[in-house]
Amino acid sequence: EKGGWSSFMAKEVSEEPEAVANTIRGRVHEGRVVIPELDGLDDLFADISRIVILGAGTAAYAGLVGKYAIEQWARIPVEVELAHEFRYRDPLVGPDTLVISISQSGETMDTLMAVKEAARLGARTLSICNTQGATIPRESDAIVYTHAGPEVAVASTKAFVAQITALYLFALHVARVRGTMGADDQAAQIEELSALPDKIRWVLDNEQERIEQLAHWMADTRSVLFLGRHVGYPIALEGALKLKELSYIHAEGFAAGELKHGPIALIEPGQPVFVVVPSPRGAQVLHSKVVSNIEEIRARGARVIAIAEAGDAAVLPSADEVLRIPLAAPLFEPILAVVPLHVFAMGLAEAKGLDVDQPRNLAKSVTVE
């Protein structure tokens, strides 16, 4: 089943381009996003005044990315919360709230219980799920499946990029229904989305070997930090989670703007720090602030590995390594920037001789609360 791959995870990372392409397929018609499964829900999307996204682990990080696109395109306020935190705090949701749950397996007990609680409180529920007929979609009012294909490795990889893709499609669908986005803009975003599979493939073809080499050199590292800002922040969290769960190395993800509020105290000579650099073609201020962060930590001896778009020369003077991603509109960068981080976590675990498909103490589907 692994084919010629060394692990299911290696196979599944290689399938990230198809996971995105297959999730888009059948949902774009004449330059507009039309998700057939959401047919008949136009009234609901016109009526809701807020969205709450729930999930656990990697799925929750996909939700954090999705918030930016939904708010920007569909102009609905979005909160993202860990399902297990939501469930036990008497949350304020009701008929004006759409609760979107995200789950690869569709069986995560924490997420299922949160969805049931939301429904009990009168919220409408939508499930973004990768497993046909699983419990969470069955308990939800509406379903948008991700089509990443079966994910066997415990660590979620191709499902993560598919979850962000589904959230973006959802945002475009709702933006069309609510009339918050012009036709040209909608068409431009669809073009960006559809270009992602080839761009992910570019990252794998051009950078995978170098990242694996880097991971090999770093096999004795005891701690790795990840920084990101805006949509790059959840990607920093995802990079850190994947590294801890696969390689058992201490890893933390931070919002780059938080650095001076505490985490910079952790920087000492030789400390590896991955930095997800926003495109200089997006908000210039975000790019220059993250470049300053790189300079600050470099001045304190950090070993900086930047993930930056092709051609961004501002990172060159202070980064020790630059991993390149192809040009994309800023909202689409997370789907590209996460690929080197998945490859790195896998490469480091392999360099340590660990089982990347079945990390210690973890189960693929967490069916207890």
Kindly state whether residue 118 participates in binding ligand F6R, applying the rule CB under 6 A.
Answer: no
Kindly state whether residue 271 participates in binding ligand F6R, applying the rule CB under 6 A.
Answer: no
Please state, in angstroms and rounded to a whole number, the distance separating the CA atoms of residues 52 and 66: 11
CA angle, 248 then 252 then 253, to 5°:
135
Tell me if residue 54 falls in helix, strand or coil: strand
Sequence-ordered strand ranges (E) for 208-365: 223-228, 250-255, 272-276, 303-309, 321-325
Kindly state whether residue 245 participates in binding ligand F6R, applying the rule CB under 6 A.
Answer: yes
For the question of residue 260 being annotated catalytic, the response is no
Kindly state whether residue 365 participates in binding ligand F6R, applying the rule CB under 6 A.
Answer: yes
Question: Residue 43: exposed, middle, or buried by beta-carbon count in 10 A (0-12, 13-18, 19+)?
Answer: exposed
Provide CB contacts within 8 A for 128, sequence distance 6+.
100, 101, 102, 103, 143, 144, 145, 146, 163, 166, 167, 170
Which x/- pattern over 147-186 shows residues binding ligand F6R (rule: CB under 6 A)?
--------xx------------------------------
Among 7, 14, 97, 111, binds ligand F6R (CB under 6 A): 111
Kindly state whether residue 57 participates in binding ligand F6R, applying the rule CB under 6 A.
Answer: yes
- Which stretch, 10-18, 194-202, 225-233, 237-245, contacts ligand F6R (CB under 6 A)? 237-245
Kindly state whether residue 146 participates in binding ligand F6R, applying the rule CB under 6 A.
Answer: no
Token pair in block for residue 89? 């705090």
Choose between 104 and 271: whose C-beta lies nearer to ligand F6R. Answer: 104
Which residue reads 């729930």 in tokens? 54
- CB distance 253 to 240 below 8 Å: yes
Q: How far is the CB of 186 from ligand F6R (least distance, A)?
A: 29
Interface residues for ligand F6R in 321-340 (CB under 6 A)? Answer: none
Kindly state whether residue 56 participates in binding ligand F6R, applying the rule CB under 6 A.
Answer: yes
Token pair in block for residue 359? 């990390």
Kindly state whether residue 108 participates in binding ligand F6R, applying the rule CB under 6 A.
Answer: yes
Site residues (vs ligand F6R, CB under 6 A): 56-59, 103-105, 108, 111, 155-156, 241-242, 245, 365-366
Active site amino acids: 364
